Chains A and B, each alone.
Chain A
Amino acid sequence: MVGPRGGGRHAIDLLRELVTILFVVLAFSGTVPVLIGVYQYALIPLHGVKNHLPDAAPYLPRVVVIVPAWNEGAVLTASLERLMRLEYPPERLRVYVVDDASTDNTPEVTLAMAALHPGRIFHLRRAQGGEGKAHTLNHGIRRALADDWAQAVLIMDADVVFRPDSLRRMTRHLADERVGAVTGYIKEGSLRPGRVARFIGYEYITAQAAARRAQNVLGAVACLAGGAQLHSRANLEAIGGEIDTSSLAEDTFTTFLTQLGGRRVVFEPDAVVLAEEPDNAGALWKQRLRWARGNVHITRRFRRVFFRPSRSHRLGSISFGLIWYSLYYLPVAIVLSTVGLLGLYVVDDYAAASVFSLLWWLGVGAYVFITAMTLLIDPQTARRSWLEGLAFPGIGSIIVMVAAWYPEVWREWLPSLFGLELTATGERVWLLVLYSWGIIALLLARLLKSIEQVRWARFLSRPLLYFVGFGPMLCAITVDAYIQEWRGADQTWDKTEKTGRVVG
C-alpha cells in the first residue's frame, strides 16, 4: 500500500490538525454554561454589600391581594388564614379570590372565609373559566384598579403560604418610587416532602435565593415569582393594567415589561413564601415544560432587548444576556461537547483523554463551588435537601467526575475488586460511555418520565432520579420544549395539582 507523498501528505496532516482543533473547540464549548454559572454565583457575595435595602424604608401601603383560584378548595383555607394572620395593618389589606368558574367547593370555602373576615376577603366569580391564569388575574386586577383604594397589588397562587413578616418586607421596597415590583423567595414547603419535592427545595435555592440575588446585583431580574409578586399601582397601570395573556410565561413577560418601562424589579430574600411543588416526575415535567416553552416565547418576543445595553434598563447588559441564554444553550452545549469528545477520540485518543480530564476538572471545581455556596445560602432548606443537593447533577455525573480525576479507579481498582482485568474492548466501551455521559443522562431522564407511568417498573424511578440527577432532568425538559416549539404543539394551560401539604 502506497501512502500519499509530499504535498498530499502535508494536506492530510493539515486537515487532521484542523479537524482536531474543531473537535477540541466543540468539546470545550460545553464549558461555556458552566463558566457562566460560576460567574453568576461569584456575584452572590456582592449582594452582601450591594442590595436595595439601603433605599428601602418603612412603608405599609393599602394592598389588594389577588388569589387566582380554579378548583382550589383543598388549599384555599390555609392560604387565606395565613393571609389574615399577616403582620400587616388589617385595614390596609384586602383579599380578592378570583374564582375561575370552579366546579369544586372553592366558592363555599371562600364565602365561609369572607364571612369570618368581613370587609377583608372578597369572592369574585368569573362566569367562564379555564382560559388560563393570566385571564383570571386580569379579572382581579381590573377590579383592584377600578377605584383608588389599592396602592399596591400582590399577585399570589392559591396554594402558597406567606410567612407573617413577608408582605411588609416586600412593601418596604416600594417606598423607593423607582421600584415597580418586588418578588419574594418561594420555598418548597411540604410537611413531608417526597424525593422530587426535596430536589425542588434545593433547586429553589439555586434558582431563587442564589440566582435572583445575583440578578439584584446586576440590576436586572429575570422573573417575578408567580406565587409572590408585589406591584406598585403605578407599575400595573404603566404596563397597561393587565397581564399578558398570549404567553405561557406571563410572570416573566410582566417582569420584562416592568423593567423595559424603566422601573426596577427587586428580589427580597427575607420575604419567604412556602409553596407546594410537584412530587413526581410526570407532574414536574408538565409544569416545567410549560415554563420552558413560555421562556422560549419570551426569548423570541424580546430578542431585540438582549445584548443591547440601555440607559433605562439593565436587561440589555452583556452579563444578563449571557446568564439568560446559558440556560437555553445548555442542551446544545452538552451535545456539542459530546460530539467533540467522540470525534477527538477517533482522530486522537490521547488528546481526547486530556481534554476529557480538563473538562471534568472544571466540572468538579464548579460542582464544589456551586453546591457549597447553595447549601450555605439557605441552611434551613439545606438540612432537609442536602442529599439532593449533592446528587443534583446525578450520581452518574459524579462517577464520571471521579473517573476523570482518577482514571485508575475504573481502569484498575474497580475491576480488581471483582478479580477482573479490563480488556482493551472493555476499556473502549467504558471510555465511550464516559465521553457520552451528557447525552446518555438526557436520554435516561426521558426514560425516567416514561417508566414512572409503568406500574411494574415504577419502583425504579426513584433510584434512577438520583442516578440521572435533577439538573439533567431539567435539561431534558428544555430539549422537549424545543421539540414542542419546533413541532408547533398547542399551548395549553395545565394546572399543577395541589393537595394542601404546605405547612407554615
Chain B
Amino acid sequence: MSEQTPAPQGPAPESGALSGSEWWATLEPLALQDEIEANRRGERWLLLVGLLAVLLTGLALVVHRLTTT
C-alpha cells in the first residue's frame, strides 16, 4: 500500500505547454499532486452552492410573505 507512484519515464513535459488535464494525464507524481490540489480547490465551490441555495430559499419565503400580506 505504501508503495509510491513509479518515477516518470523520460523527460518531464513542459507543464506550461499542456492544459491542466493533459498535464495530469502524464501521471507524473507532480502532475497527480497538482490534480489533487485542483480538485480540492474545486470542492470549495460547494461553500458558494450552499450559500446560494440558502439565499434562494430565503428569497422564496420573502416573496411569499410579500404576496400574502
Contact = CB atoms under 8 A, between A and B. Distances in A.
Interface of A: 41-42, 44-49, 51, 53-54, 56-61, 87-89, 151, 164-165, 168-169, 172, 174-175, 177, 213, 232, 234, 269-270, 364-365, 368-370, 372-373, 376-377, 405-406
A270 B60 contact: no
Interface string B41-66: 01111110111111011001100100
Give the interface centre of B3, B33, B35, B36 by most chain A CB atoms within 10 Å: B36
B39 A213 contact: no
B6 interface: yes
B52 A376 contact: yes
Contacts of A376: 49, 52-53
Interface of B: 1-6, 21, 24-25, 27, 29, 32-33, 35-36, 39-40, 42-47, 49-54, 56-57, 60-61, 64, 67-68
Nearest to A58: B32
Contact of B49 (A60, A165, A373): A373
Nearest to B52: A376
Contacts of B60: 364-365, 368
Contacts of A175: 1
Contact of A57 (B33, B45, B57, B61): B33
Contacts of A365: 57, 60-61
Q: Is the interface of A mostly helix, strand, loop or mixed?
A: helix
19 contacts: A45-B46, A45-B47, A45-B49, A51-B40, A53-B36, A59-B5, A89-B6, A89-B27, A168-B32, A169-B35, A174-B1, A175-B1, A177-B2, A364-B61, A365-B60, A369-B54, A373-B50, A376-B53, A406-B68
B36 A57 contact: yes
Contacts of B40: 51, 53-54
A376 B48 CA distance: 10
A210 to B, nearest CB: 10
Given A49-B47, A365-B61, 10 more contacts: A45-B46, A45-B51, A48-B44, A59-B5, A60-B6, A165-B25, A172-B36, A368-B53, A372-B57, A376-B53
A269 B49 CA distance: 15
4 A-B pairs closest in CB distance: A45-B50, A58-B32, A373-B53, A48-B46
A372 B36 contact: no
